[in-house]
A and B are shown apart, each in its own frame.
Chain A
Amino acid sequence: NAGVMQNPRHLVRRRGQEARLRCSPMKGHSHVYWYRQLPEEGLKFMVYLQKENIIDESGMPKERFSAEFPKEGPSILRIQQVVRGDSAAYFCASSPTTAPSQETQYFGPGTRLLVL
């Protein structure tokens, strides 16, 4: 059973460009979470999605950031017009559909974004 997959693993963008980060949850998981980890800091919650629905985006910046989890295909975190402060590791996690196993989140290897 493959784990959570994220690609690309490393992404370099120049200021003003767009960054697209992809996450494929574990098989059978329909809950996806995105976290951001700044250097030497813990992970910060950004957004929680279920298939075709954004459930909680309270941790996501209001501008330039968006997320989706379509019926088919991976979840996408999109950052428009990137700035240097967006440089971070972005982690995706997934969890199973039914409680209480919902409480275990399985993390992907992350995408390290560097904005030049």
Chain B
Amino acid sequence: QQQVKQSPQSLIVQKGGISIINCAYENTAFDYFPWYQQFPGKGPALLIAIRPDVSEKKEGRFTISFNKSAKQFSLHIMDSQPGDSATYFCAASRGGGYQKVTFGIGTKLQVIP
């Protein structure tokens, strides 16, 4: 059972454009939604995260939009740069002592000059 559905699986964006990655979840017990960035040969690194009590969170060029009623959240990368080319994973977890993170399938982003 795929608890976090992510799309698209691959994305090509021109430099300076906006990259948008969408995720949907099923488990209403999830209360923490991080995004991870992974470069080839490296481990995932936390990029930005949001809790369901806010609808948007922005850090630099990265913005998470969260729609609790629709159980959807998305990552927007403004002014996309070639250095942003990586695989992005949305994820979800629930509190209660520790975080067993459920990952989406990943989106391979390529930003072309």
Contacts and interface: CB of A to CB of B under 8 A. Distances in A.
Interface of A: 4, 31, 33, 35, 41-45, 48, 55-56, 59, 91, 93, 95, 99, 102-110
B107 to A, nearest CB: 10
B101 A42 contact: no
A41 B99 contact: no
Contacts of A102: 97-99
Interface of B: 6, 32, 34, 36, 41-46, 49, 89, 93, 95, 97-106
A23 B46 CA distance: 19
The SS class assigned to the B binding surface is loop
A109 B100 contact: no
Contacts of A109: 41-43
Given A42-B89, A42-B106, A104-B46, A56 B100 contact: yes
B41 A42 contact: no
B35 to A, nearest CB: 12
Contacts of B41: 109
B42 A56 contact: no
A43 B36 CA distance: 11
Contacts of A107: 36, 43-45
